[in-house]
Amino acid sequence: MKVVLIGYMASGKSSVGKLLSKQLEIPFVDLDEYIEEQQKMTISKIFSEKGELFFRKLEHQMLQKVLEEHSSLILSTGGGTPCYGVNMDTILNNSDHSVYLQLSVSGLVDRIANEKDQRPLVSDIEAKDLAEFVGKHLFERRGFYAKAKHTISGDGKDLDTVVSEVKKLLV
C-alpha cells in the first residue's frame, strides 16, 4: 500500500507519517530528507546554490523514484511538492491513497510561529505578517491539495486522533 501525505508546512505530514508507519509496519519516507540524502546537500543549500527551478525538477525526479522504488510506503511530501509541474498527477497515479492534512490558517500560524527558525520559507517574515503570508500561500495551493483522494482536518486534534482517522481511510 502506498500512502502519500500532502499539506502545507507544519500540517503534521512527517509526524503523522512516522506514527502511521510504525503502527502499520510500512516504511516511512520523508521526501525532503530523501532528496537531501540523495544529493548529500540540504534543501536550503540546493535552493541557494542551484536555484528553485533546479530543485523543482529534482523534486519531481525524486518523487517518481521513491514511488517506483517502494511497493509499500508512507510518503511525506514537502508543502510545495504537489503544486509544481505534474507532481500531483504523479502522486495520484502512483499511490493507493493521497491524504491532504488540512489545517486552518490560524492553526498553521500557531504551529509555524513555534518553528520559524527551522522553516526557511518563513524565517524572515515578521510574526504580525505570518497569517497574511500563510493565507495567501494556502489560497494559491488549495486547488492542488484538494485533488487528494482524502482530506482530514487536523484543527483541534492531537496526533493520535489524526493518525487514527487516516488509518480508517485506508481500509
56 is an annotated ligand-binding site residue? yes
Percentage, residues of the chain above pLDDT 70: 95
Q: Does 15 show up as a binding residue in the annotation?
A: yes
Collect all residues with Cβ–Cβ distance below 8 Å to 128 and sequence separation of at least 6: none
Residue 76 labelled as part of a binding site = no
Residue 32 marked as a ligand binder: yes
Is 80 domain-assigned? yes
Residue 12 is assigned to a ligand binding site: yes
Whether 163 is in a domain gets the answer no
pTM score:
0.94
Tell me: the pLDDT tens digits for 111-167? 888 775 666 666 677 778 889 999 999 999 999 999 999 999 999 999 999 999 999
77 secondary structure, DSSP code:
P
| pLDDT at 81 > cutoff 90 | yes
Residue 43 pLDDT: 87
* Residue 10 annotated as binding site: yes
In a domain, 164, yes or no: no
Give the range of the structural domain holding residue 109, as residue numbers without chain letter: 2-155
Which pLDDT score is estimated for 117?
62
Each as own residue / partner, the long-range contacts of residues 29-34 (CB below 8 Å, 24 or more positions apart, any chain) are: 29/66, 29/70, 29/73, 29/74, 29/75, 29/76, 30/76, 31/59, 31/62, 31/63, 31/66, 31/75, 31/76, 31/77, 31/78, 31/81, 32/78, 34/62, 34/66
Is 72 labelled a binding residue? Answer: no
* CATH number of the domain where residue 126 is located: 3.40.50.300
